[in-house]
């Protein structure tokens, strides 16, 4: 049995709940649904299911009004308390309200010539829906007459698919960026073991012949020869004022192993470099001696290259390491040649502020690495930032405003639609980990670049939410234009994305947003228990944020199943890709 509260535009039926109580008679639009006779009972009926008897009157009014406005002449609400039933005549189209999306979703419909809308917005106006729900990426479809947020249309239009991310091509992360996120260390470094060929290739480029025999053959530096592979001499006493601050990297693979702050006082009296601790426990491996072996020492090898470094003598004496197995990168160095390895993920590095050695490593990386910055806009900057931060090689992000005519705008200023500024995310990234073409491919895949959503303004280069790219050098612009042309060619449509080369310092044209907007979703959703912040490989990222039905979501049925898994904490962004 079901308890039904019917509503009808036929307000002469006193047995039904009178629509005048819903204030729907003024301006009620019956839309385009048509039937062959004049009886409202034989016309299509929309049934709203799954409502609680305690549902507020104002909520009921909004739901019913939404269905009337798209043309249903009869709307009934089915409650869940199991009371007596009321039968309806004519075909029934069952809808359920989705809190995650703020829309009514079609659950079932009879086989008729009428093709009902699958999603019905409850809040009037597309822009209001975006604002009310905080959705992120630009809407893939604004032309569908029945529902501006139709999921099927979203799967058919503007679906840019980078070739390296196509499932049927059998491509993987190595084809995209050459990095993996399956074996990240505590500090965000890729610990995937190097191949024999990779080790041999880097060994051929070592600066000291001694380094090769130590690293590959397990030999030992002559006593008191404390010179690193790249020429830094640590002979003599330690803790002198002339000892530079910096980080010791493995000479093959470049994994950071020890910090100058961890040099032991015994180094001055020892014939080799001595360290109290490694920079991270998972960056080195201890190899126990075989049973019965004459040499009882614990060998120390690099976790990535598996090359010999030295020995471990327990907590009291620490690590005795061959200097020739290491490269030393000073804090204020520009020697990026010795910096063979950089973090894939910067998340833990940003959080481990209490460790002086980690602080020194971060300072060394920032001073030595050649990083690039690009500013991207694809909708609400809260969600765009969260998505982009999960790409490998992204060092930092900052949300803000640019592209307009005013200086130092506030969020309130931008929302008034008078400044011409867009909500954007400034992305600082490591091009050795995340190549610019890969980053741009991900940007085009995360939203529909063929449509212009500008909070009411359809003209290109206007509006708070729009597709845009801002760059600071000509080479980056050339790459961006190539990516844009490739996207347009694949889609067979004009791309509305604005690409602008800025010829002045970034401080002159990018204004950071207020602090409450920085890393908003990470702060507000990161404690839900779901992993929404971990770094993903490029192909994993596309599976999460790329709007590509065939290679990511699978069939339309797959999307339906995902949509059915409602979660009140979910704003619908990942599934709806709006």
Give the mean model confidence (pLDDT) for residues 262-290: 88
Given a contact cutoff of 8 angstroms between Cβ atoms, the answer to whether 397 and 425 are in contact is yes
- pTM, two decimals, is 0.68
- Report the mean per-residue pLDDT for the chain: 76
Does the annotation count 442 as an active-site position?
A: no
Question: Matching CATH topology for 163-180+367-576 and 196-340?
Answer: no
Question: 196-340: which CATH topology?
Answer: 2.170.150
pLDDT band at residue 496, thresholds of 50, 70 and 90?
confident
pLDDT band at residue 135, thresholds of 50, 70 and 90?
very low
pLDDT value, residue 10: 35
Report strand pairing: 92-98 vs 45-51: parallel
Order of all β-strands in the sheet with 256-259? 256-259, 246-250, 326-330
Q: What is the CATH number of domain 163-180+367-576?
A: 3.30.1060.10
Residue by residue, DSSP assigns 139-189 as PS-S--SS-TT-HHHHHHSS----GGG-GGGT--HHHHTS--SSSB-TTS-
CA torsion, ordered 30, 31, 36, 39, to nearest 10 deg? -10
pLDDT value, residue 78: 83
pLDDT digit string, tens, across residues 468-493:
999 999 999 999 999 999 988 888 88
pLDDT digit string, tens, across residues 346-365:
988 877 767 899 999 999 99
Give the mean model confidence (pLDDT) for residues 140-148: 32
pLDDT digit string, tens, across residues 409-466:
999 999 888 899 999 999 999 999 999 999 999 999 888 787 654 333 344 566 788 8
pLDDT digit string, tens, across residues 363-382:
999 888 889 999 999 888 99
pLDDT value, residue 137: 53
Give the mean model confidence (pLDDT) for residues 155-171: 52
Model confidence at 26: pLDDT above 50: no
Range from 41-45, 240-244, 317-321, 546-550 carrying the lowest mean pLDDT: 546-550
Model confidence at 299: pLDDT above 90: yes
Domain boundaries, the chain: 4-124, 163-180+367-576, 196-340
Considering the candidates 250, 302, 320, 380, report the single residue annotated as catalytic.
380
Model confidence at 529: pLDDT above 90: no
């Amino acid at each position: 049995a079901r308890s039904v509260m019917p509503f009808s535009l036929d307000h002469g039926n006193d047995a039904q709940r009178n629509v005048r109580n819903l204030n729907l008679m003024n301006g009620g639009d019956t839309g385009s649904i048509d039937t062959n006779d004049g009886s409202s009972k034989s016309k299509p009926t929309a049934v709203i299911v799954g409502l609680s008897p305690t549902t507020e009157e104002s909520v009921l009014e909004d739901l019913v009004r939404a269905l009337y406005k798209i043309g249903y002449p009869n709307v009934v609400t089915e409650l869940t308390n199991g009371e007596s039933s009321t039968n309806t005549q004519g075909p029934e189209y069952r809808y359920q309200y989705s809190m995650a999306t703020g829309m009514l979703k079609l659950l079932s419909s009879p086989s008729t010539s009428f093709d009902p809308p699958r999603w019905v917005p409850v809040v009037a106006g597309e822009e209001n829906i975006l604002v009310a729900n905080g959705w992120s990426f630009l809407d893939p479809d604004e032309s569908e007459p029945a529902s501006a947020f139709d999921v099927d249309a979203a799967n058919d239009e503007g679906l840019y698919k980078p070739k390296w991310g196509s499932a049927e091509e059998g491509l993987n992360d190595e084809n995209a960026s050459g990095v993996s996120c399956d074996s990240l260390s505590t500090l965000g470094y890729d610990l995937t073991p190097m191949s024999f060929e990779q080790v041999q290739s880097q060994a051929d480029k070592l600066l000291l012949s001694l380094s090769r025999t130590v690293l590959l053959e397990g030999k030992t530096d002559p006593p008191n020869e404390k010179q690193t592979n790249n020429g830094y001499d640590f002979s003599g006493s330690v803790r002198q004022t002339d000892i530079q601050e910096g980080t010791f990297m493995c000479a093959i693979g470049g994994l950071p192993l020890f910090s100058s702050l961890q040099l032991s006082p015994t180094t001055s009296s020892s014939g080799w470099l001595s360290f109290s601790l490694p920079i991270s426990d998972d960056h080195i491996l201890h190899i126990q001696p075989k049973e019965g072996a004459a040499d009882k020492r614990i060998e120390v090898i690099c976790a990535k290259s598996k090359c010999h470094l030295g020995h471990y003598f327990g907590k009291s004496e620490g690590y005795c390491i061959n200097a020739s197995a290491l490269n030393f990168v000073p804090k204020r160095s520009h020697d990026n040649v010795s910096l063979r390895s950089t973090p894939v993920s910067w998340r833990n590095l940003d959080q481990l502020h209490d460790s002086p050695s980690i602080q020194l490593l971060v300072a060394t990386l920032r001073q030595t690495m050649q990083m690039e910055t690009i500013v991207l806009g694809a909708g609400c900057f809260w969600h765009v930032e969260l998505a982009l931060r999960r790409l490998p090689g992204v060092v930092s992000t900052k949300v803000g405003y640019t592209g307009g005519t005013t200086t130092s705008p506030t969020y309130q200023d931008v929302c008034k639609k008078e400044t011409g500024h867009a909500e954007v995310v400034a992305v600082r990234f490591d091009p050795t980990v995340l190549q610019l073409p890969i980053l741009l491919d991900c940007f085009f895949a995360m939203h529909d670049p063929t449509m212009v959503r500008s909070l009411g303004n359809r003209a290109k280069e206007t509006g708070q939410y729009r597709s845009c790219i801002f760059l600071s050098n000509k080479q980056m612009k050339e790459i961006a234009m190539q990516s844009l042309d490739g996207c347009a060619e694949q889609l067979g449509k004009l791309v509305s994305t604005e690409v602008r080369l800025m010829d002045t310092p970034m401080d002159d044209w990018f204004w950071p947003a207020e602090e409450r907007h920085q890393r908003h979703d990470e702060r507000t959703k990161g404690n839900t228990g779901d992993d929404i912040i971990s770094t993903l490989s490029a192909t994993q990222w596309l599976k999460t944020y790329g709007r590509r039905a065939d290679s990511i979501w699978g069939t339309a049925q797959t999307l339906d199943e995902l949509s059915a898994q409602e979660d009140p904490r979910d704003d619908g962004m990942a599934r709806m890709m709006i």
